[in-house]
Chain A
Amino acid sequence: MLNSSCQYRGAPSALRLMQIYRRAVLALCVALLGFGTVWTFRPVSAGSTLVLYTAVGYAPQVVRAFMKQTGIRVTIINMSTGPLLARVSAEGSRADWSLVWFDGAAAAAALDQSGLLAHHTTPTLPWTRLGQTLLPADGAYTPTGVTLAGVFSVPKSRAAERLDWNTLLTQAEAGKFGLSNPQLSGPAFLLLANLLELHGGWPQGQGFLRALQRNGMRLYPTNPSTELALQTRQIDLAVAQSSAAYALAKRDPAFAVVLPPCPAILPSVIAIAANLPPRRHAAAEAFIRFAITPKIQALRQASPSSDALYWPVTTDTPSPPGLPPLDHLPVTILTPATWGAKEAAIGAWFDRLTALQ
């Protein structure tokens, strides 16, 4: 009874076939498990000179072009901004990355204050006047383009309306406008900071945000979910990052973009990890210079990602079609270190305000 092989000795051949078949399946499963083990524990960036953590949508195209031109191997790791910053923060001085590329100078300033970024890495380029103002004094990060932290995304029928920040306080907009939650969406914090700045600074500007809250302001976790709320008519006006708003208008003609007065400038920034070996540091600097060449900026602007709809910060590259000229537009440039230091306090206050709705 215990010896199953004896059981089958002399049994019908179909049963023997079944046994062979099952053994073959078992062997296949063991082989798959072995393959799974090898796949799981294979090295991520073996042989790569650079590891790029990025939250910008056009980075893969840039990396491909860089590897093709220089032969330097780059491992690209895509994440959204929050998890990217969390990972960089948790890795600390044992960083696996060589370069980080994301939206938001305030977060870059915070990483710099924690000693995680190399200094004096900003290349000498034909910067625009705006680009010049965004360069950090210690050269810890390099701006690679700008978007606007808060523009109005509205149904096409409202495109001709004169809309400004005070419009959000009117009875007609009550409960019908929304924005990304600044606690969850990095770019949205700059919008919040800008609203405070435009209405007296911190803490004087709190009154305006209280009034917005009283008028039924709605919050969403990301730009896409704010967009979904607009598309599903939960709201009639979304205050969104300009790249997302212009991408929606380009994709769906039922929507348009209206620029409010003095929107905040939101730079994309790229930075190099502190304490990289000289060869990798040099390769990382070469990558930054490469990413801001006119040819590669054209490649970035041709990317299908909504991040492609940005304004360049160098004079040798034109803006993508469809974006209004930024030169004469009144904008707000917030000081990253100043507002970065206030982020936690403002965030906690804003949560208290919105939690009481």
Chain B
Amino acid sequence: MTFSAPAAHLRNLSGVPILLVFGVLFVYPLLRFLLLPLVPALGPLGSVGIAAPENFLSAHAILDTLQLALVTAAVTVPAGILFAFLLECRAWPGNRVLAMTLWLVFVLPSYLIATGFQILLGWAVLRGSLVQHLFFSAPGIVLLLALKGLPFCVLAARTGWRAIGGEIGDAARIHINDSWHRRVLLRLLLPTAGAGFVIVFVEVLQDFGIAATLGAQIHLPLIIYAIYEQLTTMPIDFAAAARLSWWLVLLAGLAVALHLGISLRYTSALVHGRQREVLRPSCHGAEAVAATIGLAALITLGLAVPLGALLAEALQPTHGAFLPLGTLTSLGNSAAYASVAASLAILLATGLAARAGRSGRLRHALDVITLGNMAVPGLVLGAAYVIAFNNAWAPLYGTPLLLVVGYVATHAPMLVRFLQPAFGQLHINLADAGRVHGLGLPRRLQRICVPLLSKPLLWGWCLAFSQILFELPVSELLYPAGRTPLGVQLLQLDQSLNYVTEARLALCGILVCLTAIGVAALLAADHPSPALASQERS
């Protein structure tokens, strides 16, 4: 099929509005914020109060963050590689539970995990103990960050193990007699370990929940929380927050560049013959024992302790209502924000993923944007929005609209990545065949696209909904006065030590998430074939 020149030109320009949207959502606010130290006039009003000429906290926060990120990544990567090995290379009965546990740890907000531990270690029996002392210090932060980083690390490591495949191991067993010398194969894991290390490193840099709860409590300044302090304590200093944000973005950018460098340097190690599905061996005795211990530790630390502590605290008897109305309203607010923002984000991501499938240049641009988004934490984007949309021509600061836009901007790139494989499976010829047979766009969408994409769209919506429901950094900076979101309310309850209400509210939030996922599962369930149904009836 050929197009006339103007039609082809228009077709080429069709990606422009999408890039414009991303320009308004990301490029303009971030540039305006990050350039603030150089051009103070870009700020909203200047600062209230008199800013310090220098801020030593920044240097200390940078060093602390760097140290924590390195230690956490070093601790997490071996565990991540081993769990990924189990999932990819062994037929172990516990694999389903392991995958489910990792998924739940990924979804559970970091500040709730921290709160669960804080509740447990506040119990009388543990007061003054070594465990309590260790938790309320740097090792406690490393433990929590490692737990939150583990699912990302396992995800990266699984890709590596999958790429290596079983054939290289088989070949090594045939050609290298000595099992000790077969350790040379471990070099193939270097890119995987590098990817896992970088992902955990970046996650640690960007995690606001743990920095705002345990980090703040033990006076361990971290960059992400130092930025928040600059924006929420007197004197308010946007320029200092921007300087710190530069550090965060640069460190994350360096880590991603290092990862790309390692991948490029060792890519040749991953290229081998066509990969076939191989039968995964089951775990032998020692492996099974180690795997069971590892899984038990993960379940205990990642789920049982935080959720058990929250449940136990929620069941404490109290006077008055089960939940004060004000706190319950925050759950309603966040459920409304999350449903609207998740729907808009999935619409935007669908449009982007669909366009990316058709245009190579747009796909590359999207890759850059989504990777760039990885280097920019939500808190920095939130701070950028405070400045960018707080003026005469865009007076959006303090409105629900800006908060929803912030949620969409922080979650749409993740959803684009999530949907791209599904769109990759949707061959363009299907739609073309429908068009040739006279089906209009609505019918093509209804009969071809929706049935094939409904599941990823529903699960993508659920993922965005559950993350936005508990979202903290963007909410902290952008929520409209009087419309407190759930995350902000939970953090306020945590800082005022009202653990009972916090635990009850958190569990109600988790129930809302589970209900949404249940409804999605119901809608996504496969239709039983009518023929099969009649067979069963007969």
Find chain B residues with CB under 8 A from A116 CB: 48
- Chain A interface extent, by class: 35 or more
* B391-405 near A? 1/0 per residue, CB < 8 Å: 000010110110010
Find chain A residues with CB under 8 A from B397 CB: 90-91
Find chain A residues with CB under 8 A from B216 CB: 184, 221, 225
Is residue B282 within 8 Å, beta carbon to beta carbon, of the partner chain? no
How far, in whole Å, are A26 and B525 apart by their CA atoms in the complex?
13
Contact between A15 and B527, CB atoms less than 8 A apart: yes
Find chain B residues with CB under 8 A from A29 CB: 519, 523
Contact between A94 and B395, CB atoms less than 8 A apart: yes
Contact between B48 and A114, CB atoms less than 8 A apart: yes
Contact between B45 and A92, CB atoms less than 8 A apart: yes
- Chain B interface extent, by class: 35 or more
Q: B: which residues have CB within 8 A of A?
A: 44-45, 47-57, 60, 121-122, 127-128, 132, 136, 216-217, 219, 221, 229, 231-236, 326, 332-333, 335-337, 339-340, 343, 386, 390, 395, 397-398, 400-401, 404, 434, 447-448, 451, 476, 480-484, 492, 495-497, 519, 522-523, 527-528, 530, 533-534, 537
How far, in whole Å, are A348 and B333 apart by their CA atoms in the complex?
38
Find chain B residues with CB under 8 A from A93 CB: 45
Contact between B447 and A3, CB atoms less than 8 A apart: yes
- Tell which of A37-45, A139-147, A194-202 binds the partner: A37-45
Find chain B residues with CB under 8 A from A222 CB: 495-496
Residues 205 to 234 of chain A near chain B (Cβ within 8 Å):
218-222, 224-225, 227-228, 231-234
Is residue A351 within 8 Å, beta carbon to beta carbon, of the partner chain? yes
CB A4 to nearest CB in B, in angstroms, measures 7
Residue of B nearest to A94 (CB): B395
Contact between A90 and B45, CB atoms less than 8 A apart: yes
Find chain A residues with CB under 8 A from B340 CB: 33, 36-37, 40
- Can you pick out 5 interface pairs between chain A and chain B where the beta carbons lie within 8 Å of each other? A44-B481, A44-B483, A92-B390, A110-B49, A225-B217
CB B406 to nearest CB in A, in angstroms, measures 13
- The answer to whether A25 and B447 touch (CB under 8 A), given A37-B340, A89-B48, A94-B395, is no
Once A and B bind, how many residue pairs between them come within 8 Å at the CB atom? 196
CB B204 to nearest CB in A, in angstroms, measures 20
Contact between A2 and B56, CB atoms less than 8 A apart: no
* A85-126 near B? 1/0 per residue, CB < 8 Å: 111111111101100000000110011001010000000000
CB B50 to nearest CB in A, in angstroms, measures 5
- The answer to whether A15 and B332 touch (CB under 8 A), given A225-B217, A351-B57, is no
Find chain A residues with CB under 8 A from B401 CB: 41
How far, in whole Å, are A210 and B270 apart by their CA atoms in the complex?
57
- The answer to whether A15 and B127 touch (CB under 8 A), given A36-B336, A87-B398, A228-B497, is no
Contact between B339 and A36, CB atoms less than 8 A apart: yes
- The answer to whether A96 and B398 touch (CB under 8 A), given A22-B523, A89-B48, A228-B497, is yes
Find chain A residues with CB under 8 A from B484 CB: 78
Residue of B nearest to A85 (CB): B234
Contact between A352 and B343, CB atoms less than 8 A apart: no
CB B131 to nearest CB in A, in angstroms, measures 12
CB A11 to nearest CB in B, in angstroms, measures 4
Find chain A residues with CB under 8 A from B122 CB: 228, 231-232
Contact between B52 and A344, CB atoms less than 8 A apart: yes
Find chain A residues with CB under 8 A from B530 CB: 7-8, 11-12, 15
Is residue A83 within 8 Å, beta carbon to beta carbon, of the partner chain? yes
Find chain A residues with CB under 8 A from B483 CB: 44
Q: A: which residues have CB within 8 A of B?
A: 2-4, 7-8, 11-12, 14-15, 18-19, 22, 25-26, 29, 32-33, 35-37, 39-41, 44-45, 51, 53, 75-80, 82-83, 85-94, 96-97, 106-107, 110-111, 114, 116, 181, 183-184, 186, 189, 218-222, 224-225, 227-228, 231-234, 340-341, 343-345, 347-348, 351-352, 354-355
Residue of B nearest to A95 (CB): B398
Contact between A348 and B56, CB atoms less than 8 A apart: yes
Chain B CB count within 10 A is highest, among A25, A40, A111, A181, for: A40
Find chain B residues with CB under 8 A from A224 CB: 495-497
Contact between A97 and B339, CB atoms less than 8 A apart: no
Residue of A nearest to B522 (CB): A25
